[in-house]
Amino acid sequence: MSSHQPLGIFDSGVGGLSIARAVHRLMPAESLLYIADSRHAPYGDKPLEFILQRALTLTDYLVGQGAKAIVVACNTATLATVHRLREHFALPIIGVEPGVKPAVLGSRSGVVGVLATRATVASPGTRDLIRRFAGERRVLLQPCPGLAERVERLELDSPDTRALVRRYLTPLLAAGVDTLVLGCTHYPFLTPLIADEAGPGVELIDTADAVARQVQRRLLQRGDLNPPGCCASVRLLSSHADPAAQALLRSLWGRHAQVAALDETCCLAPALTAPA
């Protein structure tokens, strides 16, 4: 495998760009191939079997495009599929999990809040993170239906988005939370709004930089990391053919990239069979 092959990254929509941007900052010599599965966004309210099938389909496509590693840039998809993907594919697969451990370690009040999708809140993987790392600390899970969709519509500071954030934060702040985990990769795009509503005494935990460092470690271990100065490209693909979806990718990426629609074969219903 050539080190010049791209890193494959996918998410249910545009949220995983928060991970892709961190990867690009840390490793600008790496080419990126990003898929926003916006036709099926968000994953947080989809059945687990559907999420698994989409993850298999998108990973298979990225592998076919020569990806040397895959980043599942979605907390919901990671918790639901990453173990199955690793069974099915031989290349490194790096996932994203809510940053419960750093939040617990950094909390002064001993009360941590996790903002996440319904699926992430309900996932046994989330409960396992809490069991492993919470200790005597309280970890409060707050499902945030509708919040990822606001990011997908680029409503990053509209009155309705602010009201939604305020509604989800109110019970957490009343419980004494001093640390908030952004448990969906869409939510970092709302960081200024969330920070404003939470107040200066609340720290926000975003795992994007930690994920980027893990990707770098895996590439180094395999000898697949490009040396500085290599010519790299960024391709952003959307499973939604609407030009507005592509414009959204370009806007949130914020720098030069090739933006296009995903191949039709990957845009429709899941095509692969889940491994037994």
Of the candidates 84, 73, 3, the residue with the CA atom closest to the CA atom of residue 35: 73
d(CA 85, CA 45): 20
Do 112 and 166 fall within a single domain?
Answer: yes
Tell me what pLDDT residue 270 has.
Answer: 54
Average pLDDT over residues 67-95: 97
Above 60 in pLDDT, residue 273?
no
Would you give the distance in Å from CA 27 to the centre of its chain?
Answer: 18
pLDDT digits (tens, 9 = 90+) for 130-161: 999 999 999 999 999 999 999 999 999 999 99
Of 162, 177, 206, which residue is a domain's last?
A: 206
Do 110 and 76 fall within a single domain?
Answer: no
Q: Which 3 state secondary structure label does DSSP give 114?
A: strand
Do 36 and 170 fall within a single domain?
Answer: no
> Residue 10: enclosing H or E segment and its boundaries?
strand 7-11
Do 66 and 152 fall within a single domain?
Answer: no
Q: How many Cβ atoms sit within 10 Å of the Cβ of residue 163?
A: 10
Do 85 and 170 fall within a single domain?
Answer: no
Do 110 and 201 fall within a single domain?
Answer: yes
Domain annotation covers residue 274: no
Do 191 and 214 fall within a single domain?
Answer: no
Do 215 and 202 fall within a single domain?
Answer: no
Do 174 and 231 fall within a single domain?
Answer: no
Domain annotation covers residue 161: yes
Q: How many Cβ atoms sit within 10 Å of the Cβ of residue 45?
A: 15
Do 34 and 128 fall within a single domain?
Answer: no
Domain of residue 146, CATH code: 3.40.50.1860
Total-model pTM: 0.93
- Measured in degrees and rounded to the nearest 5, phi and psi for residue 232 equal -120, 155
Of the candidates 40, 46, 189, 51, the residue with the CA atom closest to the CA atom of residue 118: 46
Domain annotation covers residue 271: no
Token pair recorded at residue 247 = 């414009």
Do 217 and 180 fall within a single domain?
Answer: no
Domain annotation covers residue 55: yes
Above 70 in pLDDT, residue 259?
yes
d(CA 7, CA 195): 31
What is the set of active-site residues? Answer: 74, 184
Of 180, 206, 232, which residue is a domain's last?
A: 206
Residue 272 pLDDT grade (very low, low, confident, very high; cuts 50, 70, 90): very low
Tell me what pLDDT residue 231 has.
Answer: 84
Domain annotation covers residue 1: no
Of 172, 206, 240, which residue is a domain's last?
A: 206
Tell me what pLDDT residue 103 has.
Answer: 97
Do 86 and 135 fall within a single domain?
Answer: no
Mean pLDDT, the chain, whole residue set: 93
Domain containing residue 162: 100-206
| Strands in 163-220 per DSSP E | 179-182, 203-205
Tally the domains of the chain.
2
Residues in the chain: 276
The single-letter DSSP state of residue 12 is S
> Residue 258: enclosing H or E segment and its boundaries?
strand 258-261
